[in-house]
Amino acid sequence: MGDNVVRPLEGVLVLDFSQFLAGPVAAVRLADLGARVIKIERPQGGDIGRTLAFAGKTADGDTISFHAMNRNKESVTADLKNAADLAWVRELVTRADVLIQNFRPGVMERIGLDYESVRQLNPAIIYASASGYGDSGPWKDRPGQDLLAQSVSGMPWLSGSSDDGPIPVGLSIADHLMSCHIAQGVTALLVRRFRTGQGGHVQTSLLEAMLDLQFELLSTHLNDSSVTVQRKGPHSAHAFLSAPYGTYPTSDGYIALAMNPVNRIGDLLSIAELSALTDPDSWWTDQERIEDLLAGHFAMETTEHWLAILDAADVWCAPVLTLEQLVDHEGFAAIAMTQEITRPGADGADVTLLTTRSPIRIDGQRLTSSAPAPRLGQHTEAVRAEFAEPAPS
């Protein structure tokens, strides 16, 4: 889908007061769907994500991760402790459709930009609040950071084997999931406003995102307390699924097996001990022995050798790819998840980066945009001039 195609949220104005990851990614999701996003940043340094670098990598003065999560936005600077700047921002709020913020509870109240204050200025606004742990309870003032939210949620105990300590997910999964929930809530309230004219306030948190991710585990445990986390051996990929669900070393890599009848896998691989296990209960009671037998067998040949046998039998399996294998694979090229963004560099030379696109396709079209992340305050003068004009009646 080219830059000139009309997108579902075209005409929606979003003010992005958030920084670092969850809020900015929620805003870029809305931008990908056509919204105009104006990023409100402090004059000194701006969004902390400009300098807090994923893998320590930067380009043209900003982190590469900042470029990725703030593409297709405008940047204005405003000191919210300065009365004149705050007054101008409040005027901008009256013209906006959506406001996104992820300050700690109490911060927006102190500067008069909390939901109750903002809806006095703009009753139809959609206001999105993202926090670490909600706005009440014993954790509400704790730092809202991804690893910390994962840890509080208990999720690091779901990965690894019984011999391991806690293993967090090695990406900011709480932030990314929360960004999806923010974008979903904003879009739902925009639909409601279209029908009724009513604005609204959508709220979520890192903790709620992590608890929602564990809905199967929590729902089962809350109704049967005997269900608890008991991790298995080193090849198991799930504490609550029986063998052969897991990953296994081959002679040149790893292969993953999902839910499959153990005796059928035994037949296909000519492992008599597994062929004899026709009772599904044994796939639980003999789980580690099953996994050890599979690991020893898979280690004798390459991943491709085993995939040829298992794929032909329509077994649920896949290679476990490294980062390098993924980006070099024709499957990665086929799904076309990358796009190119270009920003004029500080030294006058263009800086071109590859990043991911929106994962959503609409009417068969991929959502791509070549607009880069803005420089700090790049659009301040233009936006001030634009919104100095009276709002259209």
With 60 as the cut, is the pLDDT of residue 4 above it? no
Q: Count of residues for the chain?
A: 393
Task: Quick: pLDDT tens for 191-248.
Answer: 999 999 999 999 999 999 999 999 999 999 999 999 999 999 999 999 999 999 999 9
What would the mean pLDDT of 364-374 be, rounded to a whole number?
95
Q: Quote the CA–CA distance of 220 and 214 in Å, as a whole number.
A: 10
Locate 200 and state its tokens.
């609204």
CA distance 313 to 316: 9
pTM above 0.85, yes or no: yes
Question: What domains can be seen in the chain, in order of their start residue?
Answer: 13-213+336-388 (3.40.50.10540), 246-328 (3.30.1540.10)
Q: Average of pLDDT values for 87-105?
A: 95
pLDDT at position 383 over 60: yes
* % of the chain exceeding 90 in pLDDT: 94
- Determine the pLDDT at residue 51: 96
Quote the radius of gyration of the chain (alpha carbons, Å): 25
The band of 392, judged by pLDDT with boundaries at 50, 70 and 90, is: low
Q: Provide φ and ψ at 218, rounded to 5°.
A: -65, -45
Instruction: Please write the tens of the pLDDT for every residue from 245-264.
Output: 999 999 999 999 999 999 99
Q: Which tens digits make up the pLDDT trace of 31-75?
A: 999 999 999 999 999 999 999 989 999 999 999 999 999 999 999
The predicted pLDDT at position 2 comes to 53
Backbone torsions φ then ψ of 84, nearest 5 degrees: -70, -45
Strand segments (E) across 92-214? 98-101, 126-131, 200-205
pLDDT exceeding 70 applies to what percent of the chain?
A: 98
Q: Helix (H, G, I), strand (E, B), or coil: what is residue 290?
A: helix
CA 353 to chain centre: 20
Tell me the two tokens of residue 98: 């959506």
**Mean per-residue pLDDT over the chain, rounded:** 96
pLDDT at 166: 98
For 318-366, write each residue's pLDDT tens digit.
999 999 999 999 999 999 999 999 999 988 899 999 999 999 999 999 9
Instruction: Determine the average pLDDT of the residues in 162-184.
Output: 97
The CA distance from 339 to 373, in Å, is 13
Q: Identify the pLDDT of residue 135.
A: 87
CA-to-CA distance for 180 and 21, rounded, in angstroms?
A: 12
